[in-house]
Structures are given as structure tokens and as C-alpha cells.
Amino acid sequence: MADLILHHYWPSPFAHKIRMAMGLAGLPWTSVEIPRVPPKPLLLPLTAGYRRTPVLQVGADVYCDTHNIARALADTAPEVGERLFPGPSRGAALVLAEWVDQTLFPLAIRAVMAEALDTASPDFIQDRGDLYFGPGWTPEGLRSEAPGVILQLEAALGRLESWLAGLGHCDYRELSYGDVAAAFIAWFLRGRWSRGGEVLRHYPYLREVESALEGAGQQPAQEIAAEKALAIAAQTVPQASTGIQCPSDLVVGQSVGIRPYVRSSDPEVFGRLRALTSDRISIDHEARDVGDVVVHFPITGYQIRSVD
């Protein structure tokens, strides 16, 4: 198997989640650090313009979105899949992780950013505000909504705590990717929000999962420059298969556009359809610095359209 190359930056919460997943799975990985805000000239040639963090590169195959990356990691070998999704836990773990991303994180990022408006750089605030909240957001609106957002956040954390309590203590059950998703939100709140530690005191099962995964996967096997990662892609042939494996009007070879199905500043990504399954779409992309690569996106959470 080709090296797992993670394009990330260390403070990224979503990159932290994937690093924990690789630690839980026992997978060595190679680090490429990328800028926190655009432009990202040594990443976008690989991703057809996708700008979010992290991105997993395996030779000339490039995986975007953390749930898609988790599935790709699980598919590397049966024993890896069992570590990330032990027993019959795959469906439940993915549902929990998606709920954390779609319900809990949007509340957490609002609480964190409302507090950071006066301390973080204006460029960073503007970029993340546009990315997470879409056009038309304002600092004043973010501040005024914060008390109600925090009430929602604490209610959602209570639901997460109930889910984890139903699974039981970590000392007599196997951890899964669902636990990784829970630990990532705890790590984010504790590290970025002044009230994070105080609020997390009320959720002992969540704190237990956070502690069990502390430090997992945070040491790369090696670090390489972004230019070397581009050269690896250029020297490698994509391994992705070709074909349509689910009912669809889309056909192999046609041009498609892909973007997150939320209001955000994400650019639309374009490419030629290579493969489509019930949970992944793969597009062929060519750029001068990388040659031919295949970029993989999940179906869930993304809007896909024909542009022919």
C-alpha cells in the first residue's frame, strides 16, 4: 500500500479527528503541513480546488471529507476496518460521527468564534465566517445569537453523553470511529473555548472517551514538503476503479460539479466522472504539477450536478 499522506495543519479540529482515527487504526502516516487559510497553491492542484482540511493522499488518489477518509482508511485492510468499526458498529459509528459534524460542530464553532472575534486575526475570522456561516453573516449577529447557541450546544452535548453512556465505559468495550468523533468535539471545545473545560465537567462519559484517545495518532512517521507530495502524485497511477455501481442518470466520463450541501464559501469542484457508488463519487482531474489524479468525495453532505 502507498504511504498515507495527510495534508493538514496541526490546530485543525477535523485534521485532529483523522489523526486520532489513524492512531486508533494503528496506521503510520506522513505529514504535509498546509496553510490555515487560502491561497493553498500546493494543495489545490491535488484536489481540483477543494480547500477544506484535511485531505488524504494515497499515491494519485485523493480523499476529501473526514467521513470519506475514515471509510478509505477502513478499506486499506480487514484488520484496520475492524479497529475503526469493531463488530457491527460501522453504521452506528458513521451516523454518530455525521451527527457530531452536522449538529454539534456548527454550534461549537459559533460559540468559539463569537468569543474569538476580538482576538483572532481579521483575515482568519472572515475566512472561517464565510466558510461556516455563508454569505451575509455578521460579527454582531454572531455575538447576539451566542447565548441561545450555547443553550443548544449544551443540550446536544447531553444527547451525546446519553449515547456514550449507552455504549458503556471504555475499559470494557472497544473504541470506534464514533468515539473518535466524540473525542474530537471535546478536544475542540476544551482547547478553543474559555468555558470548554467547565462545560465538559458535566459529561463524564465524554471526558472518558476524550482521555482514552488523548495523543492517539499525533506523531507522524515522517514529514515531507508539499512539493514532494505533488511529485509522488505525478509519478503514480491512480488505483480507483471505474464504473457506476448505483442507480443514477450520471455516466462515466461526463463533467460534474461537486460542492458541500451547505451555505458556505466553498468553491465548486469540477471533473470527469470516473466512478459512483452509493456512498462515494470519484472524479478524474488533471493539473500540471500532479498529472492525472482521482479525487474522491462522499455522497452524503455534497451536492452533485451534471455540467455537460
What was the pLDDT predicted at 135? 87
- Residue range 31-73, pLDDT digits in tens: 999 999 999 999 999 999 999 999 999 999 999 999 999 999 9
Spatial distance between the Cα atoms of 134 and 129, rounded to a whole number of angstroms: 7
User: Which are the contacts of 155, defined by CB distance < 8 A and separation ≥ 6?
Assistant: none
- What average pLDDT does this structure show over 9-26? 98
What nine digits make up the cell of 162?
Answer: 446519553
What nine digits make up the cell of 161?
Answer: 453523553
What was the pLDDT predicted at 91? 95
Please report which confidence band the pLDDT of residue 2 belongs to, taking 50, 70 and 90 as the band edges.
Answer: confident
Please report which confidence band the pLDDT of residue 115 belongs to, taking 50, 70 and 90 as the band edges.
Answer: very high
Share of the chain above pLDDT 70, in %: 100
- What average pLDDT does this structure show over 167-188? 97
Mean pLDDT value across the chain: 97
- Residue range 195-238, pLDDT digits in tens: 999 999 999 999 999 999 999 999 999 999 999 999 999 999 99
Answer yes or no: is pLDDT of 243 > 90.
yes
pTM: 0.97
Cis peptide before 238 (omega within 30 of 0): no
- What average pLDDT does this structure show over 272-282? 98
Answer yes or no: is pLDDT of 288 > 70.
yes
The domains found in the chain, sorted by start residue, are 87-212 (1.20.1050.10)
Answer yes or no: is pLDDT of 308 > 90.
no
- Residue range 65-90, pLDDT digits in tens: 999 999 999 999 999 999 999 999 99
Answer yes or no: is pLDDT of 1 > 70.
no
- What average pLDDT does this structure show over 243-262? 96
- Residue range 132-173, pLDDT digits in tens: 999 899 999 999 999 999 999 999 999 999 999 999 999 999
